[in-house]
Amino acid sequence: MSRRRVVVTGCGGLTALGHTWPDIRAGLEAGRTGVVRMEDWDRYDELHTRLGAPTAPFELPRYYNRKVMRSMGRVALLSTRASELAVYDAGFERSDPVLTGGRTGIAFGSSAGSIVPIIAAGRFAELGTLKGAPTNSYVQMMAHTGAVNIGVFFKVRGRLITTCSACTSGSQGIGFGYETIRDGIQDVMIAGGADELSVVSAVVFDMIGATTTMNDTPERAPRPFDAERDGLVVGEGGATLILEDLEHAKARGAKIYAEVVGFGTNTDGTHITQPNAETMAEVMRLALDDAGLKPQDIGYVSAHGTGTERGDIAESRATNEVMGAEVPFSSLKSYFGHTLGACGSLEAWLGIEMMNEGWFAPTRNLDNPAEECAPLNHLREGPVKIDTDHFMSNNFAFGGINTSLIFRRYDG
């Protein structure tokens, strides 16, 4: 079977800088950050970080009633609403036969389910009380809660792939969705990732010394690839791309944002939390090989760029090895924090929008690139005008999971 071409026909998300591309673009162009001091976290004496990047407030349509939302914790709500925005952007209605007819599937993930029911379950195990436990605790706390709630909301009957792989959940969602359409298994895929912000998501990184402690200067954190970087900021959000077979999209007159042309994913096989530059480099080569492209064909690389010491070093060395020192390179986490399961799809969405407009955002707070990081063409002031037909988006997760996606500007 010949490979089908896969295009992006819808985009949507909920982020710390807003929920539409014009709002987010304005924030990026102004160099604004979604990072704030989380005052509620001051009561946790053993927590070192006090910074987070919560999703900006958003209103829900009236039909998000108790019945619709009873199976949703925060992460499922972010997943479902981001996907709804993308579905509408693609020109579908909620009950569209294309969505419900069995030829549309879902590839979506998060780091975990919602924390409130998990805390309630732990309280029961320790104290024997169900006080405060939602009756639908399991469906709100299960790792695939976002994907299944999307499926129920849109009555999707096709293939469902849950990509619960921490920081590569969103990028694997796009990659596996792309492969599913490419190979003729589905015509349309709802693909992406989401994660909610909680003190628990902060403390898991805090315990291993991976979070920033620039608590009194939230506008100065995080600092990916900077000599004074001291860790990541945990963020929140959800982002979805609607992927579609090119001929299917053209037949219905869909707007086409970009084409997905390359995907690679692999695992380190060495350490749960320590990054491996060798396999990071290999995943970029896998994506280039899948796309049939050479490194010099890529006009911009969207970095994972968390602002942690070892992560930034390994990523910079891998990128330098494969792409060379001159490739334009920046990290969007400097604006949104580390949105965990959402970051891969969020960064892909914004990269597509910027590619189509001919510019890319620089890395915030990158004053002095760290000497221990390999040399790269860091975008440090901007927006930076770059006219390119291809960009690469890379993400790396705990467990040694690596992803690389390549998008092509669609020219008809």
Single-letter amino acid, residue 85: L
Residue 167 annotated to the active site: yes
Structure-block tokens of residue 106: 């879902």
Q: How far apart are the C-alpha atoms of 92 and 99, rounded to whole Å? A: 8
Complete DSSP assignment for 228-293: T---B-EE-EEEEEEEEEHHHHHHTT----EEEEEEEEEE-SS-SSS--HHHHHHHHHHHHHHHT-
**Which amino acid is residue 231, in one-letter code?**
G
Find, among 342, 262, 361, the residue nearest to 31 by Cα: 361
Name the amino acid, one letter, at 172: Q
Catalytic residue among 304, 343, 373, 390: 304
Among 359, 342, 45, which residue's Cα sits nearest to residue 195?
Answer: 342
SS3 state of residue 189: strand
- Distance (Å) of CA 167 to CA 164, 223, 235, 246, 407: 9, 18, 11, 28, 19
**Distance in angstroms (rounded) separating the CA atoms of residues 237 and 15:** 5
Closest CA to 276 of 311, 303, 227, 305: 311
**Which residue spans within 60-159 are E strands per DSSP?**
104-109
Q: Per this entry, what is the length of the chain?
A: 412
Rounded to the nearest 5 percent, the helix, strand and coil shares of the chain are 40, 20, 40
Choose, from 144, 248, 338, 390, the residue flagged as catalytic.
Answer: 338
Residues 6+ positions from 97 with CB-CB distance below 8 Å: none
In the residue annotation, 19 being an active-site residue is answered as no
d(CA 186, CA 158): 7
In the annotation, is 48 catalytic?
Answer: no
Cα separation, 85 vs 349, whole angstroms: 13
Per annotation, catalytic residue among 11, 167, 343, 373: 167
Active-site amino acid positions = 167, 304, 338
